[in-house]
């Protein structure tokens, strides 16, 4: 019995020594991924990375040049030689950038008589069905009615007119240099700024009040004509952006209320981009009421459109002290403002092409 016990002890001692030597070298068993349940969806799992969209830099110097060039023609009042020369230059520039251009001529029935006018429509990749519309007015006001002098003379309209068109020209130049698979239409509306503002009520412009239908209809004659006579039958676009007074120093772009009502998602996205780029203070999240502007008639054509418009002050100088005066010249144009609006717009366009905007 003693012998048997001794043998058993020796057996177990040998077995333990073998185990102590071998076990550290055996593979450790781990559960198969199929056995993992709740842990696989825990908050510690890495998030799907956001799609990065390469947006080319906006050239504010180039945009500034495009403002300056338009102003060099003088006041661009429909029916004048300066208007005709500037229109020919715009058509040539868009064509030079590879755009297909349509000149939509019409009679502008202004409150002071009929004038020859033309909407200039430049199309980037007109064959693509998926499109975005950018627009601005290219005429300048026929009188400086808010000035203290020379009220009956036309103004240069460096900001009110030329800055928005310059924005579109620079974006067209960018698209030529950095192509995308998205159709973009640039519409230069004519005869926007020939409205009847002779009897403003409540200390403000009829353009800002929109409470007199007859007078309201004297503004935005080019976009009114276009909305009734689309340049292509059945034309549509995902959305539109209107650039109005987008170049002056210290500009502020609150949320315009027609845009908020009829294109809220697009407006939200644009203002979010502005905040993302560090421009939140210049694109405040507050509404400033409904403004009769070209976007109203683009909306009526079935395209949700946002008006990016400078409204820095409360009435009666909502649109800035230079508005509809002879001070609306190159001295108020600021490259920083052009760059800010340009970066917001181009980010939206390139993200739309990548499918990450809407």
Q: What is the mean pLDDT of residues 128-155?
A: 98
For 149-160, what is the mean pLDDT?
98
User: How do 183-189 and 113-124 pair as beta strands?
Assistant: antiparallel
Q: What is the mean pLDDT of residues 65-86?
A: 98
pLDDT digits (tens, 9 = 90+) for 204-216: 444 444 456 888 9
pLDDT at 351: 98
Among the listed residues 336, 358, 356, 353, the one whose alpha carbon sits nearest the alpha carbon of residue 60 = 336
Confidence of residue 342 (pLDDT cuts 50, 70, 90): very high
pLDDT band at 30; cut points 50, 70, 90: very low
Q: Which of 155, 145, 135 is nearest to 77 (CA)?
A: 155
Name the residue with higher pLDDT: 251 or 314: 251
Do the Cβ atoms of 182 and 125 come closer than 8 Å? yes
Closest CA to 310 of 243, 228, 230, 226: 243
What Cα–Cα distance (Å) separates residue 169 from each residue in 54, 56, 124, 177, 341? 20, 15, 12, 13, 13
- 93-135 tens-digit pLDDT: 999 999 999 999 999 999 999 999 999 999 999 999 999 999 9
Beta-bridged to residue 307, according to DSSP, are: 242
What residue segments make up the domains of the chain, in order of their start?
2-38, 60-354
d(C-alpha 208, C-alpha 335), whole Å: 27
**CA distance linking residue 195 with residue 205, whole number of Å:** 11
Alpha-carbon distance 247 to 132, whole Å? 22
Distances (CA, A) of 145 to 194, 197, 342: 11, 8, 30
Q: Strand, coil or helix: what is 150?
A: coil
- The number of CA neighbours under 13 Å toward the Cβ of 319 is 26
Least confident stretch, 49-53, 57-61, 109-113, 162-166: 49-53
Q: What is the pLDDT of residue 358?
A: 80
**Domain 60-354 is of which CATH architecture?**
3-Layer(aba) Sandwich (3.40)
Q: Are 352 and 132 in contact (CB under 8 A)?
A: yes
Please tell me the distance from the alpha carbon of residue 207 to that of residue 187, in angstroms, as a whole number.
21
What is the number of H-type helices and E-type strands within the chain? Answer: 11, 6
- Give the residue-averaged pLDDT of 158-168: 98
At 251, give phi and psi (nearest 5°). -65, 145
């Amino acid at each position: 019995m003693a012998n048997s016990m001794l043998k058993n002890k020796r057996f177990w001692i040998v077995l333990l020594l073998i185990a102590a030597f071998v076990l550290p070298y055996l593979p450790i068993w781990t559960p198969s991924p199929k056995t993992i349940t709740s842990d696989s969806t825990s908050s510690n799992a890495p998030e799907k990375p956001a799609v990065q969209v390469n947006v080319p830099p906006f050239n504010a110097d180039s945009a500034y040049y495009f403002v300056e060039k338009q102003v060099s023609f003088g006041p661009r009042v429909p029916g004048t030689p300066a208007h005709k020369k500037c229109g020919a230059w715009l058509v040539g520039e868009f064509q030079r950038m590879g755009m297909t251009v349509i000149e939509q001529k019409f009679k502008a029935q202004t409150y002071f008589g009929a004038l020859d006018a033309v909407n200039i429509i430049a199309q980037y990749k007109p064959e693509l069905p998926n499109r975005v519309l950018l627009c601005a007015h290219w005429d300048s006001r026929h009188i400086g009615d808010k000035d203290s002098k020379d009220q009956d003379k036309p103004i240069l309209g460096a900001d009110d007119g030329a800055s928005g068109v310059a924005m579109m020209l620079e974006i067209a130049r960018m698209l030529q240099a950095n192509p995308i698979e998205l159709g973009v239409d640039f519409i230069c509306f004519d005869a926007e700024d020939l409205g009847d503002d002779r009897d403003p009520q409540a200390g403000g412009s009829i353009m800002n009040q929109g409470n007199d239908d007859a007078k309201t209809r004297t503004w935005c004659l080019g976009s009114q004509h276009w909305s009734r006579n689309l340049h292509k039958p059945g034309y549509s676009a995902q959305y539109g952006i209107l650039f109005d007074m987008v170049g002056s120093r210290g500009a502020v772009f609150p949320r315009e209320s027609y845009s908020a009502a009829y294109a809220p998602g697009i407006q939200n996205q644009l203002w979010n981009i502005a905040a993302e780029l560090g421009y939140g203070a210049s694109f405040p999240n507050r509404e400033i009421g409904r403004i009769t502007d070209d976007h109203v008639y683009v909306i009526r054509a079935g395209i949700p459109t946002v008006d990016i418009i400078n409204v820095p002050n409360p009435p009666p100088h909502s649109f800035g002290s230079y508005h509809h005066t002879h001070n609306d010249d190159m001295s108020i144009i600021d490259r920083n403002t052009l760059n800010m609006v340009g970066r917001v717009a181009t980010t939206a366009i390139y993200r739309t092409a990548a499918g990450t905007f809407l």
